[in-house]
Amino acid sequence: MTEHAPEIRAEVRLPTAELRDDIPFFTRVLGMRLDTIYPADDPSVGVFSGHGLRVRLEKGAPEAPGTLRILTDDPDAFAGGQRLLTAPNGTRVEIAELHPPLTIPPTTHAFTVRRLADQAPWVIGRAGMHYRDLLPDRLGGSIIASHIRIPDGGPVPDMVHYHTVGFQLIFCYRGWVDLVYEDQGEPFRLHAGNCVIQPPEIRHRVLYASDSIEVIEIGVPAEHVTTIDHEMTLPNATVNPGRRFQGQRFVHHRAEEAEWQDFRVPGFICRDTTIGTNTNNVANVQVVRKGQGLPAAATHDADILFGFVMEGAMRLEGEGRDPVDLTPGDALAIPPGMVTTYAAPSEDFELLEVSLPGGFRTTLA
C-alpha cells in the first residue's frame, strides 16, 4: 500500500459582519474565486482563492480587517485602475506594480569618514553574516557600503537569490569564499584582493567560507530587494560568460592578472578591475597603492567617490576640515568639488576606491 503525503493548505482569516456584502467585492472587483461557503441557509464563512492567496472570511472572527496587497504588471487594468480600495468588511486593498522600476535617490553629497576604531556596531544580517555600516548616512539612500564578516568558516546557509540593484560589488578583503553564479560555470573561490560584480538580477549563491572571511560590499541604491529563486539550481546548464544582465557583464577580477598603472592623482599607482568597461561606466573600482612622488591635492566631479583603507595608513586632508589619520578598516566618501589630499601614505598603503559613474574628471588643485 502506497502512502501519500497529506494535503496541506494555508489561509488567512479575516472578519466580516455580513458575508453576502463581501462576496461581490472579492469575486467581481478583486477577481478571486469563491471556493467554499456555509452554512447554506445563513452563510457566515466564505473561502476565496486567487492571485496566489487564500482568504477565509468569517463572521465574528476576532482579527482586525488587515490589508491585502495585490501586485500586477498592469495595475491600470485591474479593479478599474483603482490603487486603493476598501472591502465591505473593512479590509484595505492596495494595488501595486509587480515589477516596480528601480529608483535610485539623488545623492546627498557629504564628506564622510567612518573609522574602525570608533567601534561602529556589527549587526547580524542575512544568512547569519555580520554587517558593519561604512556610510551611516548612506548619502541620502543612494548607496550602501558594508563591511561583512563571517566569524566561523564552513558552509554558508545561503539560497539561490538575486538583487534588484543598479550596481553591486563584492570585494574579498580577508580570507576566501566559494561562490557560484548564473551562466558563469562551476563554483569558484574568491580570494583576498579579488572581487566580483553582481550585475542586476544575476542569480547566485554563497557556498562556503574560510574562517574569519571579510568582504566589502557596495550596493546602489542603499535599499534594494533581495529575491529568493526557488526554481533555479546553480551551477545551471547554460555557460555564457559574456551575457549582459541589464547592460552589465559579470566580472571576476583577479589581482595576479592585473597590470599596475598611474592613478588619477600623482603619487599613486592603481590596478583597474575592468568594472568600468563591463558596466558601461555605471561604476568603476580600483585598488590604489603608494607610487613615486608627492601626493597632490585634487577635486573630482564623480557623483559618488568611496574609499576603504585595506592596508597601511594615510592622512586624509579635506578642504575646511581637520586632517584625519586613517588605518585599515576605515572608510571615506568625498563629495564632488571638494579639495582633498591622500597625504602621507605609508609604504604598504592600499586603498579600495569605488566611483559612480565609472568615468569622471579629476582636477589637480
Is residue 120 located within the same domain as residue 235? yes
- For residue 23, the one-letter residue type is I
Q: Looking at the domain assignment, is residue 167 inside a domain?
A: yes
287 DSSP β-pair partners: 271, 352
Instruction: Kindly report the number of other CB atoms within 10 A of residue 19's CB atom.
Output: 20
Is residue 24 located within the same domain as residue 50? yes
Is residue 30 located within the same domain as residue 80? yes
Q: Is 361 left (phi over 0), alpha (psi -120 to 50) or beta?
A: beta
59 DSSP β-pair partners: 16
Q: Looking at the domain assignment, is residue 210 inside a domain?
A: yes
| Structural domain boundaries, residue 201 | 112-253
Tell me what pLDDT residue 114 has. Answer: 95
Strands 67-72, 92-97: pairing kind: parallel
Tell me what pLDDT residue 132 has. Answer: 93
Percent of the chain at pLDDT > 90 equals: 91
Mean pLDDT over residues 56-72, rounded? 97
**Site of grid cell 465591505:** 88
Backbone φ and ψ for 195, nearest 5 degrees, come out as -150, 165
Mean pLDDT over residues 40-67, rounded? 96
- Please provide the distance, in angstroms rounded to a whole number, between the alpha carbons at the two ends of the chain: 85
Q: Among 234, 253, 272, where does a domain finish?
A: 253
What are the helix and strand counts (H, E) for the chain? 2, 34
Strands 144-150, 213-220: pairing kind: antiparallel
Q: Looking at the domain assignment, is residue 246 inside a domain?
A: yes
* Contact of 199 with 249, CB cutoff 8 Å: yes
Is residue 239 located within the same domain as residue 130? yes
Closest CA to 57 of 32, 29, 94: 32
Q: Among 253, 283, 307, where does a domain finish?
A: 253
Is residue 117 located within the same domain as residue 248? yes
Cα of 312 vs its chain's centroid, Å:
29
Tell me what pLDDT residue 23 has. Answer: 97
Is residue 159 located within the same domain as residue 121? yes
Compute the mean pLDDT over every residue in the chain, rounded to the nearest whole number.
95
All cell numbers assigned to 189: 573561490
Q: Looking at the domain assignment, is residue 5 inside a domain?
A: no
Handedness of CA 244, 246, 252, 255 (dihedral sign): positive
Tell me what pLDDT residue 126 has. Answer: 67
Helix locations, 12-95, DSSP H? 19-24
Number of domains in the chain: 3
Mean pLDDT over residues 236-264, rounded? 97
Closest CA to 45 of 11, 15, 83, 73: 15
Please check the confidence at residue 84 and state whether its pLDDT lies above 80. Answer: yes
Tell me what pLDDT residue 123 has. Answer: 86
CA distances from residue 274 to 267, 270, 281, 303 in whole angstroms, order as listed = 22, 12, 10, 19
Give per-residue burial for 197-233: e unless 16+ CB within 10 Å, then b: bbbbebbbbbbbbbeebbbbbbbbbbebeeeebeeee
**DSSP labels, 263-311:** -SSTTEEEEE-SHHHHTTTS-EEEEEEE-SS----EEE--SEEEEEEEE
Under the banding of pLDDT at 50, 70 and 90, the label for residue 190 is very high
Query: What span, in angstroms and rounded, lies between the C-alpha atoms of 304 and 336?
Result: 8
Is residue 243 located within the same domain as residue 187? yes
Is residue 116 located within the same domain as residue 210? yes
Query: What span, in angstroms and rounded, lies between the C-alpha atoms of 79 and 300?
Result: 50
Secondary element (H or E) of residue 58: strand 53-59
pLDDT tens for 117-134 read 887 778 887 667 789 999
Is residue 141 located within the same domain as residue 244? yes
Q: Among 223, 253, 283, where does a domain finish?
A: 253
Q: Looking at the domain assignment, is residue 202 inside a domain?
A: yes
Exposed, middle or buried, 4 (CB in 10 Å: 0-12/13-18/19+)? exposed
Q: State the CATH number of the domain containing residue 123.
A: 2.60.120.10
Is residue 57 located within the same domain as residue 143? no
Cβ contacts of 159 within 8 Å, gap of 6 or more: 205, 228, 229, 230
Q: State the CATH number of the domain containing residue 20.
A: 3.10.180.10
Tell me what pLDDT residue 127 has. Answer: 64
Query: What span, in angstroms and rounded, lies between the C-alpha atoms of 224 and 40?
Result: 48
